[in-house]
Chain A
Amino acid sequence: MTIRKTLARLALAAAAGALTLPAWGEESGWAQLNMPQGVTDISRKIYALHMEIFWVCVVIGVVVFGAMIWSMIAFRKSKGAVADTTLVHNTQVEVVWTVIPVIILVAMAVPAARTLIEIEDTTRTGLNIKVTGFQWGWEYDYLDQGVTYFSHLDRASDAARELGSGVDPTTVPHYLLNVDHPLVVPNGVKVRLLITGADVIHSWWVKDLGVKKDAIPGFINEAWFKVDDGWTGLLRGNCAELCGRDHGFMPIVVDVRSRADFDTWLKNTAAEQKQAASPGASAPTGPLPNATAPAAAAPATRAPATATATVAAAG
């Protein structure tokens, strides 16, 4: 059959093409095939759960697809197979293939439920941060700490992403995954996020924390994470609910620091924001630190792009 021959030739060509592809490096997109394990206990549990269901599906797939392929090969009319038309019903096998999936499903549901119950436990947190999504960015409010600021897509990405900007995205560091002011948090502390939306629904998602929670206008959702003790670096995420024109352009960056570093940062920033807000201050008023306000320059100039500890390296 010519079709078969042509297909074989096509397959060969495809295989040859695959060999000439760029090597599967750490940074290369080709290697990104799976969920990252993340940097919290919960994110690793989710990863384990994900892998478990994945393998269960693979095994079921091998068995079921195996049976199908076997039928397709063994019972071909072209090879003279004659149909056994009496084979229309068999209560025994039917019971078996109803009961076995039930058992498999129970085996999957138990760890899932356990992890879920753990995730939903938002008690005993060490730090409360109110997170407000808006069109298009995030506002972080360290409750009772006197620190509030906005976080937007960083300037370089913002310039490059314009229609016909002429900028090659590959030359922009962390294109679309960088912000002007990241969320700063300590490691080893259970941080509670109180998430809400200002205008439409957004969703705060950082996959390495295993957290995705919708930001619903008028309501507050709780989520929490506790980064491994001793882990520092930057984590990147996105808004994960369609929120209008620039939904693709409101990333999230979390800057994880040691407790001591974090405490200093919090104290300094609170002081700066208080000074900036006080009537006598010469700096532009407004409670937020941003790159143009000298008083707030300290947190802002810790440009995330320069930090080396990326998740890929850590994971």
Chain B
Amino acid sequence: MTDAHAHDSSQYYIPHHSPWPILGSVTLFTVMLGAVSYLNDWLGAWVFLPGAALLGTLFFLWFGTVIDENQRGIYNLQVDRSFRMGMMWFIFSEVMFFAAFFGALFYARVLSVPWLGGEGVKVFTNYILWPHFEPAWPTSGPGHVGGRADSSFNVMNPLGIPALNTAILLTSGFTVTMAHHALRAGKRTPLAIWLALTFLLGFTFVGFQAHEYGEAYANMGLKLSTGIYGSTFFMLTGFHGLHVTIGAIMLTVIWLRVMRGHFTPKRHFAFEAVAWYWHFVDVVWLGLFIFVYWL
């Protein structure tokens, strides 16, 4: 019902009433209720899963409307700029979300673990409460929380899969840029190939990451519950992996749109938005590689 026959769109464009926002809120609410009921052992995942499926469908439809309006040429340059700015600030908010978890990592490494080990102002903390704790990183804390049965654990060798994954993501950053060049030059076939390479690399990354998690759980005693190291490791890499997955799915959608002949060398906001998102995911990974795996 979102009518497109709006105003003289060379001046401005305002979509008239739309059902998507309210449906989006209702499904989002369903997802949240489902998560509550799952965590509280009320109804298991029986609300969450359908809710999540609905939410996914809904965003598919909502974006479908937008894409459709766009293809019909209703959007003027002002709308295009609005979308661009919106996407940039959305990415900034994501950066700040990761900042919270990086903050937790730095706090633990620079302050709380040394304090527990008796450094700085908290000598008595170590002396009275945790007399045998030597501060070191990685650690599962003075209480040796989690890990194997003897509460030991191993950490990922940064030169193994992580280094490979770094290479993969960096390459994918390159391929997406190549795709952008091809798009701007109006060359469809290279565009499709570079783009396909990008999301394939993305999914490969996720595959390796999943493998790494399997290893960590099965053989290394490294779990989400392995003290502060496990907490920061899995929350940071996990949220990053989630973002890579979302990004790769978005790239796939963009690729499908390319195959349908969407986008022109001049106007291709959606492509660029996803490319920015991809670069953001890339940069976060570099932070992770350095501070989580390497140092």
Contacts and interface: CB of A to CB of B under 8 A. Distances in A.
A196 B124 CA distance: 10
A218 interface: yes
Contacts of B203: none
Given A218-B116, A219-B115, A130 B122 contact: no
A306 B116 CA distance: 43
B125 interface: yes
B164 interface: no
B116 A194 contact: no
Contacts of B121: 222
B231 to A, nearest CB: 15
A189 interface: no
Contacts of B295: none
Nearest to A195: B124
Contacts of A194: 124, 128
A220 interface: yes
Interface in A198-220: 218-220
A221 to B, nearest CB: 8
Interface string B116-133: 100001101100110000
Interface in B4-21: none
Interface string B90-119: 000000000000000000000000011000
Contacts of B115: 219
B125 A219 contact: yes
Nearest to A130: B128
A220 B124 CA distance: 6
Contacts of A130: 128
A218 B129 CA distance: 7
B128 A220 contact: yes
Interface string A211-238: 0000000111010000000000000000
Q: Pick from A130, A196, A219 the residue with the most CB of B within 10 Å.
A: A219
Contacts of A218: 116, 125, 129
Nearest to A218: B129
B128 A219 contact: no
A130 B124 CA distance: 10
Contacts of B128: 130, 194, 196, 220
Contacts of B122: 219-220
Nearest to A192: B124
Most interface-central of A194, A196, A218 (chain B CB within 10 A)? A218
A235 B18 CA distance: 66
Contacts of B129: 196, 218-220
Interface string B152-173: 0000000000000000000000
Nearest to A128: B124
Nearest to A141: B128
A268 to B, nearest CB: 26
A222 B124 CA distance: 8
B20 to A, nearest CB: 42
Nearest to B126: A220
A138 B145 CA distance: 27
A130 B128 CA distance: 9
Nearest to B112: A219
A195 B235 CA distance: 32
A222 B115 CA distance: 13
A220 B128 CA distance: 8
Interface string A89-130: 000000000000000000000000000000000000000001
Contacts of A219: 115-116, 122, 125, 129
Given A194-B124, A220-B128, 6 more contacts: A130-B128, A219-B122, A219-B129, A220-B124, A220-B129, A222-B121
Interface of B: 115-116, 121-122, 124-125, 128-129
Interface of A: 130, 194, 196, 218-220, 222
20 contacts: A130-B128, A194-B124, A194-B128, A196-B128, A196-B129, A218-B116, A218-B125, A218-B129, A219-B115, A219-B116, A219-B122, A219-B125, A219-B129, A220-B122, A220-B124, A220-B125, A220-B128, A220-B129, A222-B121, A222-B124
